[in-house]
Amino acid sequence: MSEPTYHDLPLLKPPVWTWEIPLYFFIGGAAGAAAVIGFAARVNGAKPSLVRDARWMAAIGATASAPLLISDLGRPERFLNMLRVFKPQSAMSVGVWTLAGFGACATGAVIAPRPLRDVAAAGSALLGLVMSTYTGVLLGVTAIPAWNAHAATLPAHFAASALASATSLLQLRDHDEPALHALATLAAAFEMWTGFQLERRQKPSNVMRTAGVLSGPLPLALRLLGVKSKRARRVAAAITIAGSLVTRFAWVEAGKTSAAQAMRS
């Protein structure tokens, strides 16, 4: 017995999070990226409808995030206890404060008096950067091997996924700026590379593979085709969104599976 275990029983506790959390990862990430896109679009004088849609996406996403997070709490009525303290070492604390600020800014960016909107939007873009990355930190900075093994990957991975889903959502709103397509292609390429890395390090689960295929090679291929074809771009967008969603579910699942394994260290 080279690696003795305790009756092959797991050491760690699996995450208690249910579907709300991966869904939030998806929505919050997309909203954050949308805010960034909206900001970049506005700075570069893009079409107002694109800017508006991106801002609305951020605002709606932020608004939808809170109930998801709250409903997953064991004691939802105590959500506000999250704001008792700010702990930079706790990604969840950082995330909650970020979400709070992001929510305020993102909604400000669409409903505040017009002169203030751009300021709010700038804020939401700044916090959106955190929104679309911190969930990777949240998973990475834990005791779960399947997560912390990818601590350096997950934030970028989630950011790419967020970017891909935000651009794709905007494309499905019939925005067809090349910038969106380029960003989405970049994200897909990154996701393909990430998938490749994961594949190399350990055998991912089927869900994770599916997520990978839906996020990387498949949309990438379609995107490359999509330089010419709008249909391909739209199909790619749809697939990307699915891929991004499945990615988050896959990662939470991976955490659960990982925690259920007997300790090997």
Q: Per CB under 8 A, which of residues 102..141 are in contact with another protein? A: 125, 129-130, 132-134, 136-138, 140-141
**Nearer CB in complex with another protein: 56/113:** 56
* CA dihedral angle for residue 146, residue 150, residue 151, residue 157, rounded to 10 degrees: -120
End-to-end CA distance of the chain: 13
The region of 33-41, 113-121, 219-227, 236-244 touching another protein under the rule CB under 8 A is 33-41
Query: Quick one: 12 or 113, whose CB is closer to another protein?
Result: 12
The least CB distance from residue 55 to another protein, in Å, is: 14
Per CB under 8 A, which of residues 151..170 are in contact with another protein? 151-156, 158-160, 163
| 167-226 positions binding another protein, by CB under 8 A | 176-183, 186
What are the backbone dihedrals phi and psi of residue 262, each rounded to the nearest 5 degrees, phi first? -65, 150
- For residue 179, what are the CA distances in angstroms to 89, 121, 176, 226? 35, 19, 8, 13
Q: Position of tokens 């912390």?
A: 148
Nearer to another protein, 156 or 213 (CB): 156
For residue 76, the tally of other CB atoms under 10 A from its CB is 11
Position 254 contacts another protein (CB under 8 A): no
Please tell me the distance from the alpha carbon of residue 84 to that of residue 96, in angstroms, as a whole number.
Answer: 11
Query: What does each C-alpha distance from 131 to 4, 58, 195 come to in angstroms?
Result: 41, 10, 22
Give the one residue of 144, 188, 236, 246 binding another protein; rule: CB under 8 A.
144
**Of 187, 193, 156, 153, nearest in space to 170 by CA:** 187
Residue of 36, 58, 236, 239 that binds another protein (CB under 8 A): 36
Residue selected from 27, 30, 31, 46 as contacting another protein according to rule CB under 8 A: 46
Given 19, 48, 67, 78, the residue binding another protein (CB under 8 A)? 78
With CB under 8 A as the rule, give the number of residues binding another protein: 83
